[in-house]
């Protein structure tokens, strides 16, 4: 059984919470793309955890967690993240964490280049998290990347690293006019943060292939959402990796296997971190009220999220490109205090009402078409069965289900593990 948990919208939909919930029924959880620009929040009996690199299954001791070949891994950040988890009582050993030898290492000069480029762009910036993600993926496709498995072959790595550092400094010095990095400092960084993880490095492709053939249940955990996918997202305001479910077997190392089920995660309203078009965005007090009610601040960056009503065109598009079989709707409880709830049902593009997600400049010019539905104005956090929900809440769920064309299987009514309803 191969299942993917993916984001339908701009990211920050609550994927970590759903992976933590559903991983109880799985043997393996795999991260297959992205780096520490992710921020998956999980709350359980041990406390509140914000996971940037680690798969969310790490909080279940019986689950094996895999960091796949499609990831880019900042070793220093990984070292600190593992340390925090261990200090909180989370077990992490080579038995329950496996790191692909083919994953690319995000190095200090990638972070430096990311920051320099955002500063150069100034007001035209893309809203990068400044964690080196675009530069490291660029180097991967330029064939200038360093892979995690290279740490196990230090002499060969030393020879290759010298040439790569020389090449990278051409950009750092001559394009940005910044101080060059030294081979010695990069090598010391690799030794400092690479040596502690050597026992975790393995051929995860082989491991996952054998696990699936042995009948293990495998869950793939995506970072960000469909609208941040490098191919299908709002380009160039995207991430630098493929966030869609179809990439999961590739980014995990098992392209010879097919997904059996895709769970798309979306909020009961819309949020967005970063720059670029966000047609349904609210402003002023209406936005402030929703942001505070939902605690909408980026888990990875702490940045205030842009907020808006549920966006039908964007969500229907996300469901389609993700190939979602079922939906997990999160944060329904956040809307409990609103008497009337806005919904973006369509876009106005140059005076024409459109219901499909636009491309390029048409999206830039789009304006939201808003309709209001009745709220339920009562606490739903104690509801555990569909029949416990007030009628207005059920009507809202059914409206979304029909609008996006996909069955809603799970509805979260709070942040704790047990605060959800299964339909």
Residues forming the active site: 12, 40
Measured distance CA(4)–CA(26) in Å, rounded: 12
The three-state secondary structure class of 399 is: helix
Measured distance CA(178)–CA(175) in Å, rounded: 8
Side-chain-facing half-sphere of 169: CA atoms under 13 Å:
12
Measured distance CA(307)–CA(300) in Å, rounded: 17
Would you state the structure tokens that stand for residue 150, as one six-digit string?
A: 């290279």
Cα–Cα nearest to 364, from 282, 279, 238, 306: 279
DSSP3 helix / strand / coil % (the chain, rounded to 5)? 40, 25, 35
391-404 vs 312-322: helix crossing angle, rounded to 10: 60
First to last CA, the chain: 21
Cα–Cα nearest to 341, from 307, 384, 367, 315: 307
């Amino acid at each position: 059984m191969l299942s993917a948990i993916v984001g339908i919208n701009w990211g920050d939909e609550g994927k970590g919470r759903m992976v933590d919930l559903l991983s109880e029924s799985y043997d393996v959880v795999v991260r297959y793309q992205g780096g520490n620009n992710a921020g998956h929040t999980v709350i359980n009996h041990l406390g509140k955890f914000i996971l940037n690199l680690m798969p969310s299954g790490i909080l279940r001791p019986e689950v094996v967690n895999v960091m796949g070949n499609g990831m880019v891994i900042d070793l220093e950040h990984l070292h600190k993240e593992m340390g925090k988890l261990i200090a909180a009582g989370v077990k992490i050993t080579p038995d329950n964490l496996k790191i692909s030898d083919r994953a690319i290492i995000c190095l200090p000069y990638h972070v430096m280049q990311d920051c320099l480029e955002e500063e150069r762009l100034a007001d035209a910036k893309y809203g990068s998290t400044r964690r080196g993600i675009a530069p490291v993926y660029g180097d991967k496709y330029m064939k200038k990347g360093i892979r995690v498995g290279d740490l196990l072959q230090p002499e060969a790595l030393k020879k290759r690293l010298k040439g790569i550092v020389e090449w990278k400094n051409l950009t750092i010095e001559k394009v940005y006019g910044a101080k060059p990095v030294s081979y010695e400092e990069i090598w010391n960084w690799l030794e400092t943060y690479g040596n502690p993880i050597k026992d975790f490095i393995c051929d995860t492709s082989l491991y996952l292939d054998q696990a699936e053939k042995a009948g293990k249940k495998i869950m793939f955990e995506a970072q960000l959402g469909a609208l941040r996918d490098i191919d299908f997202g709002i380009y160039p305001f995207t991430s630098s990796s493929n966030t869609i479910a179809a990439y999961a077997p590739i980014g995990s190392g098992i392209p010879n296997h097919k997904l059996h089920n895709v769970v798309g995660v979306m909020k009961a309203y819309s949020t967005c971190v970063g720059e670029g078009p966000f047609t349904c965005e609210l402003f002023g007090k209406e936005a402030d009220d929703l942001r505070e009610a939902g605690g909408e601040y980026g888990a990875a960056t702490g940045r205030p999220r842009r907020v808006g009503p549920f966006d039908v065109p964007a969500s229907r598009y996300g469901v389609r490109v993700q190939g979602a079989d079922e939906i997990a709707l999160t944060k329904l409880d956040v809307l409990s205090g609103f008497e009337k709830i806005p919904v973006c049902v369509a876009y106005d593009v140059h005076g024409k009402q459109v219901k499909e997600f636009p491309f390029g400049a048409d999206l830039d010019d789009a304006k939201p078409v808003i309709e209001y539905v009745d709220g339920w104005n009562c606490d739903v956090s104690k509801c555990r069965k569909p029949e416990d929900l007030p009628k207005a809440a059920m009507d809202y769920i059914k409206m979304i289900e029909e609008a996006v064309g996909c069955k809603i299987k799970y509805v979260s009514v709070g942040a704790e593990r047990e605060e959800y309803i299964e339909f």
